[in-house]
Amino acid sequence: MCGIVGAIAERNITAILVEGLKRLEYRGYDSAGLAVFSNAGLLERCRRVGKVSELEQALADEPLAGQLGIAHTRWATHGAPSERNAHPHFSGHDLAVVHNGIIENHEALRERLKGLGYVFSSDTDTEVIVHLLEHKLQELGDLTVALKAVVAELHGAYGLAVISAKQPDRLLAARSGSPLVIGLGHGENFLASDQLALRQVTDRFMYLEEGDIAEIHRDGVQIWDVAGQPVQREQVQYRDGAEAADKGAYRHFMLKEIHEQPQVVQRTLEGRLGADHVLVEAFGPQAAELFAKVRNVQIVACGTSYHAGMVARYWLEELAGIPCQVEVASEFRYRKVVVQPDTLFVSISQSGETADTLAALRNGKARSATDGRYLASLAICNVGISSLVRESDLTLLTQAGPEIGVASTKAFTTQLVALMLLTLALGRVRGSLAAALEAELVDELRRLPSRLDEALALDKAVEKIAELFAEKHHTLFLGRGAQYPVALEGALKLKEISYIHAEAYPAGELKHGPLALVDSDMPVVTVAPNNELLEKLKSNLQEVRARGGQLIVFADQQAGLGNGEGTHVLAVPHICDALAPILYTIPLQLLSYHVAVLKGTDVDQPRNLAKSVTVE
Ligand code: G6P
């Protein structure tokens, strides 16, 4: 995903911009560029396809120096990766813009601006912003005033950084749906899409809020809110140790990563939601055209990522009406699969380097070359520079940040968010999802981070319940519908890190076998959102109680389930049914964590397991 860095200082800022871009490399990108207001009083830029190191080399060959500048790593949405599409974009010689996000009304704006005589030199949506700004500037005279007028005309999502050779005393920023943070220095200030990019120069930050516009000078910052009123934003100071590869105050990486979920889910949504719909372009330049042709989806993945795929199957079929198959990659790669025409091949992977998933993708591509039934491949992945991303036609990056604990947690929930975005995008483009339902789910997605926070507040209660498991050798997890894969994931987490044998079943299958195992030594964990399957689930629970089984139920506050003898109910915040799999994952992660801690296992590096399985 794209990254922004900007700086205004009294020293040369080129190296700061390049270092900032390097720190954003992990997010994935296909080209990079920067523009500086040079000592000669001109805006000069350098852009390169490929790595930031290539940009750096180009700058070593032909140095650019200046005290005001903006830089960008681009992930193509409109227009292929190429130097002419790389940011910054210029209008004339005096105005430069970098942009994260997607401008949905770019076509209409482009036509209007062409009518006004502007000549476009890229295929990007971003270029309309810079020409529109130039146009407004002629009318209004002041850069900040002109930027305010421009954003009023933009539909979609954006984080913007702007500089002008005519008003080089300022660096401008605007945020709507794509994050921006101001880094505060002494006699110099900075801007970035992620504070990580600026940790080299400052530890003091000010986060812009939705709709904010900021005018950043060397010695001060002025911010206006969405209503155009001047506002102050809180200053945050980071102490050392707040980095992703550091446990901070947490005892284990896994616990830290569990608690990061509201934040990384938020990040995965950023720049991808319009007012009431998902921005299809977030999946890549050809996504809208390809998605319109999709008639089937084939998902392949391993481990936790496979469970995410299983949840997605419920969503794709129920919400978007698209037939979907899901298979573990190690099976898929060796099977003679019968592919339906117009199938979208989706691979899901945290690392993007899992050998079986990569092999499955390669097999899929080889098959597509012969029978043409796979339309395109889409990678849902957490690592932008991975093999899976490089080898896929389309990518949606989860923004979980580095995941260190071997047992996957935040990667899973961000995968689910990405898959929900895919479901909504496919449903709309194909016309199989009602606009009102999409709008409702987009709204629910926006509220999801705070729901996850509420679910994390169950931590203490779950820690207490974990005591029931410490001496047990076997556990059963039950769920129905899209909660069945959540139960599978809960069981996987428990076995991975506590070494307790755990199995998961769709609750309706209980009487076809596993009920024979149930006795007072076998705790049964159930996830019970308040949906149409609740009554059926309640009868399954009765079947367990009748055999003396201990029940641990994570239930919707409104499910009408209460504690009783042998039944422990933990109330989970209410959430719409579609997003319940994401929310109910949290208490199950916490449960496995606390059981493992009680058992004294190596939580972050469980025996025999690897974080990334790059061999077969
Ligand atoms: C390993 C990890 C799991 C992960 C699986 C797939 O088994 O221990 O946590 O779910 O690989 O990895 P991927 O990177 O492809 O998601």
> How confident is residue 528, by pLDDT bands cut at 50, 70 and 90?
confident
> How confident is residue 244, by pLDDT bands cut at 50, 70 and 90?
low
- Choose from 185-199, 367-381, 517-531, 584-598 the range with maximum mean pLDDT: 584-598
Best of 389, 612, 615 for a ligand 1 pocket test (most atoms within 8 Å of beta carbon): 612
Residues 562-612 have pLDDT tens digits of 787 788 999 999 999 999 999 999 999 999 999 999 999 999 888 887 777
Which residue's CA is minimally distant from atom 7 of ligand 1? 303
What percentage of the chain exceeds 90 in pLDDT? Answer: 74
The burial class, CB within 10 Å (0-12 / 13-18 / 19+), for 563 is exposed
Q: Please state the atom number of ligand 1 nearest to the C-alpha of residue 305.
A: 16
Q: What separation, in Å, do the N-terminal and C-terminal C-alpha atoms of the chain show?
A: 30
* Inter-axis angle of helices 106-115 and 126-140, nearest 10: 50
Residues 494-505 have pLDDT tens digits of 999 999 999 999
Return the H-helix or E-strand segment holding 315: helix 303-318
Which residue's CA is minimally distant from atom 2 of ligand 1? 611
In angstroms, what is the span from residue 393 Cα to ligand 1's centroid? Answer: 22
In angstroms, what is the span from residue 493 Cα to ligand 1's centroid? Answer: 12
Closest CA to 251 of 612, 539, 596: 596
Residues 324-371 have pLDDT tens digits of 999 999 999 988 888 899 999 999 999 998 989 999 999 999 888 888
User: Which residues carry out catalysis?
Assistant: 2, 611
Q: How far, in Å, CA of 600 to CA of 584, rounded?
A: 25
Q: Could you tell me if 9 and 70 are in contact, meaning their C-beta atoms sit under 8 angstroms apart?
A: no
> How confident is residue 227, by pLDDT bands cut at 50, 70 and 90?
very high
3-class DSSP state for residue 532?
Answer: coil
Q: Please state the atom number of ligand 1 nearest to the C-alpha of residue 301.
A: 15
In angstroms, what is the span from residue 195 Cα to ligand 1's centroid? Answer: 28
Which residue's CA is minimally distant from atom 8 of ligand 1? 611
pTM (global) more than 0.85 = no
Q: Please state the atom number of ligand 1 nearest to the C-alpha of residue 408.
A: 9
pLDDT over threshold 90, residue 552: yes
For 185, the token pair is 């220095």
Q: Could you tell me if 221 and 187 are in contact, meaning their C-beta atoms sit under 8 angstroms apart?
A: no
In angstroms, what is the span from residue 286 Cα to ligand 1's centroid? Answer: 29
In angstroms, what is the span from residue 302 Cα to ligand 1's centroid? Answer: 6
CA torsion 408→414→417→419, rounded to 10°? -60
pLDDT over threshold 90, residue 265: yes
In angstroms, what is the span from residue 358 Cα to ligand 1's centroid? Answer: 12
Single-letter code of the amino acid located at 103 = I
| Edge-to-edge strand list for the sheet holding 501-506 | 501-506, 474-479, 524-528, 551-556, 567-572
What percentage of the chain exceeds 70 in pLDDT? Answer: 97
pLDDT over threshold 60, residue 310: yes
Computed on alpha carbons and rounded to an integer, the radius of gyration of the chain in Å comes to 25
Q: How far, in Å, CA of 304 to CA of 308, rounded?
A: 7
Which residue's CA is minimally distant from atom 4 of ligand 1? 303
Q: Please state the atom number of ligand 1 nearest to the C-alpha of residue 609.
A: 8
Q: How far, in Å, CA of 257 to CA of 585, rounded?
A: 13
Buried residues in 190-201 as b, exposed as e (16+ CB within 10 A):
bbbbbbbbbbeb
Domains of the chain: 3-237 (3.60.20.10), 247-433 (3.40.50.10490), 457-604 (3.40.50.10490)
Sign of CA dihedral 434, 438, 439, 440: positive
> For residue 342, what is the DSSP state?
S
What is the model's pLDDT at position 241?
43
Facing residues of 296 across strands? 343
pLDDT over threshold 70, residue 245: no
> For residue 359, what is the DSSP state?
H
Q: How far, in Å, CA of 377 to CA of 357, rounded?
A: 12
Q: Which residue has the tokens 């700058």?
A: 59
Best of 254, 307, 350, 615 for a ligand 1 pocket test (most atoms within 8 Å of beta carbon): 350
Which residue's CA is minimally distant from atom 3 of ligand 1? 303
3-class DSSP state for residue 20?
Answer: helix
Best of 327, 397, 613 for a ligand 1 pocket test (most atoms within 8 Å of beta carbon): 613
The burial class, CB within 10 Å (0-12 / 13-18 / 19+), for 36 is buried
Q: Please state the atom number of ligand 1 nearest to the C-alpha of residue 388.
A: 15
Which residue's CA is minimally distant from atom 5 of ligand 1? 303
pLDDT over threshold 70, residue 444: yes
Return the H-helix or E-strand segment holding 357: helix 355-371
Closest CA to 267 of 611, 3, 489, 590: 3
Higher-confidence residue: 558 or 109? 109
Residue length of the chain: 616
- The pocket around ligand 1, CB under 6 angstroms, is made up of 302-305, 349-351, 354, 357, 406-408, 609, 611-613
Q: Please state the atom number of ligand 1 nearest to the C-alpha of residue 610.
A: 8
Facing residues of 525 across strands? 477, 552
Residue 606, preceding peptide bond in cis (omega within 30° of 0):
no
For 557, the token pair is 């506050």
What is the model's pLDDT at position 242?
46
pLDDT over threshold 80, residue 263: yes
Higher-confidence residue: 109 or 247? 109
Query: How much is the mean pLDDT over the chain?
Result: 92
In angstroms, what is the span from residue 349 Cα to ligand 1's centroid? Answer: 7
In angstroms, what is the span from residue 380 Cα to ligand 1's centroid? Answer: 13
In angstroms, what is the span from residue 509 Cα to ligand 1's centroid? Answer: 27
Q: Could you tell me if 612 and 351 are in contact, meaning their C-beta atoms sit under 8 angstroms apart?
A: yes
In angstroms, what is the span from residue 408 Cα to ligand 1's centroid? Answer: 7
Q: Please state the atom number of ligand 1 nearest to the C-alpha of residue 406.
A: 8
Best of 354, 383, 497, 607 for a ligand 1 pocket test (most atoms within 8 Å of beta carbon): 354
Best of 307, 349, 603, 608 for a ligand 1 pocket test (most atoms within 8 Å of beta carbon): 349
Q: What is the mean pLDDT of residues 78-87?
A: 92
CA 200 vs. chain centroid, Å, equals 25
